[in-house]
Copies of this chain bind each other. A is one copy, B any other.
Amino acid sequence: MNGAQSLIRTLVDAGVDVCFANPGTSEMHFVAALDTVPEMRGVLTLFEGVATGAADGYARIAGRPAAALLHLGPGLGNGLANLHNARRARTPVVTVVGDHATYHKKYDAPLESDIDSVAGTLGWVRRSVSPAEVGADAAFAVAASQEPPGGVATLILPADISWTDGGTAVKPVPPRSPQQVPETTVKAIAEALRTGEPAALLIGGSATHEPALRAVSRIAAATGAKPFAEVFPARIVRGAGVPNVERLGYLAEHASHQLTGIKHVIVAGMKPPVSFFAYPGKPSDLVPEGARVHTLAEPGQDVVEALEALADEVAPDTAPILQEAQRPELPSGPLTVQNWVEVIGALLPENAIIADEAQTSGVLLPAATAGAPRHDVLTLTGGAIGQGLPVAVGAAIAAPDRPVIALEADGSALYTISALWTMARENLDITTVVLNNRAYGILRVELQRVGAEGSGPKANDLLDLSRPDLDFVKIAEGMGVPASRATTAEELAEQLSRALAEPGPHLIDAIVPPLV
């Protein structure tokens, strides 16, 4: 058994049996070893950002890591933006970066670069130094990725360590359990809630899944505390039969408004809220002046148990308030920022997964889908655009029986557009709706907000995606995904119904007006 074979066997034994790959020469022994471990599924992507984003999406749904196989420093670079998003999502991801053979590095061959420093910005890194140790390195990498609350673990695998005999498969290293929250913390926060002063309960991490959402709803119902989910949850469960928790606004003005008058900010599974960006003359810290921050559970602590304990403390006899089933009427007329989300709300199938990178076009989505059948929403956790299509790929591979809907802004789509090809090759049941407003809409908003002086035609040109217009029907067809264009709500509804009824990937190029 060579190093590569022991690596793959160890990964599979630890439950990592999908590898999103974009390999090169230094990874050829890893690639060859795939045929010796039948349980490992290799999924080819045509760009590393698709591989890393897919690994993120996979783990958000599967609850366990996938591997991403990358080619040296440039491959890691191409995968870095979506690894950043995975780090912010606290998703377990095991990245395997091939490197030159140990004895070859000193020659500074053209592909030589400092992989370790780049990988070090993401979290846990190990460089394998002998084939005998690769198995253990892999087992530790899987455990490191699952260390609560979860993160990116990178294993750097030199080519000769991969191809040399002497590897052994190693048993999984059990990941640590999340740290328990002390009872005194729960009781102190219960006391703050009992003051009756205005309180907000801000939740992140696994607190946006059930059963934590039920505990949150009980606490809110009994104490009047306002619950909010973090701005960009890795996965939030929504829809009929689930407590409906509003998300904090992306715009600092919006979030400040949501928190107006709050005296107690209780955070559970997230850090205290901050502005996404800084703006001249505006605060970065979104905790209202004079409010006290109480940490119920830090990321990595057992937030579910803590919320349940708090609910039992302050709301022993209160039931959660569950969202009623209700859908918008199917709208008509030319597409608008309002009516396209109503189409989604009206037609969302049972048990769907939404990968949401609709950006400014999606501001009205949460309201329109609140009472749709129960579904998961995966969002842009780290702000690095180009995440939606890859995350959809990973989610569809993790849950082949669930319909996946990728809601994708035009500008964001272009970063990792070759994800469409992987959807076609793997015949994934993903319906992509591109919200094509022919602009970096968010930057038009931001250019106003930052109070930039002197901007004129040159500035606006850099935020404009027309001249030429992008034709996502042709782009999708060029990558093997059937596609159509919708300019009215009726067309979108008809095309979406058809796409959802057929297996395999589809794309709808929805021409929408910009938000501003």
Whether the Cβ atoms of B455 and A277 lie closer than 8 Å is: no
A318 to nearest B CB, angstroms?
33
CA distance A47 to B414 in the complex (A): 7
Whether the Cβ atoms of B81 and A74 lie closer than 8 Å is: yes
CB closest chain-B residue, reference A418: B414
Size class of the contact patch on chain A: 35 or more
Chain B contacts for A277, CB-based, 8 A: 25-26, 100-101, 104, 109, 111, 159
Whether the Cβ atoms of A421 and B479 lie closer than 8 Å is: no
Whether the Cβ atoms of B103 and A163 lie closer than 8 Å is: no
A445 to nearest B CB, angstroms?
9
Give the residue of B47, B461, B477 whose beta carbon is less than 8 angstroms from that of A415. B47
Whether the Cβ atoms of B468 and A421 lie closer than 8 Å is: yes
CB closest chain-B residue, reference A450: B28
Whether the Cβ atoms of A458 and B35 lie closer than 8 Å is: yes
Of A116-124, A192-200, A207-215, which stretch is located at the interface?
A: A116-124
CB closest chain-B residue, reference A110: B383
Question: Quick one: which of A371-386 are within 8 Å of B by CB?
Answer: 381-384, 386
CA distance A386 to B416 in the complex (A): 13
Whether the Cβ atoms of A163 and B452 lie closer than 8 Å is: yes
**A474 adjacent to chain B (CB < 8 Å):** yes
Whether the Cβ atoms of A31 and B111 lie closer than 8 Å is: no
Whether the Cβ atoms of A31 and B455 lie closer than 8 Å is: yes
A: residues with CB less than 8 A from B are 2, 5, 21, 23-26, 28-29, 31-36, 42, 44, 46-47, 49, 73-75, 77-81, 84-85, 88, 100-101, 103-104, 107-111, 113-114, 117-118, 120-121, 159-160, 163, 231-232, 271, 274-278, 280, 284-285, 381-384, 386, 411, 414-415, 417-418, 421, 424-425, 442-443, 446-447, 450-459, 461-465, 467-480
9 tightest CB-CB pairs across the interface, nearest first?
A468-B480, A77-B80, A32-B452, A74-B384, A474-B478, A475-B478, A101-B278, A32-B455, A104-B278
Apart from A25-B442, A31-B455, A160-B278, what are 18 other A-B pairs with CB-CB below 8 Å?
A: A24-B443, A26-B277, A31-B452, A34-B459, A35-B456, A46-B411, A46-B414, A47-B414, A47-B415, A74-B81, A74-B382, A75-B81, A107-B285, A109-B284, A111-B384, A114-B120, A117-B120, A474-B474
| 23 A/B residue pairs, CB under 8 Å, sorted by A | A29-B453, A31-B452, A31-B455, A31-B463, A36-B454, A42-B458, A46-B411, A46-B414, A77-B81, A77-B84, A84-B113, A100-B277, A101-B277, A103-B284, A104-B278, A107-B274, A109-B276, A109-B277, A117-B117, A163-B450, A470-B479, A471-B478, A472-B478
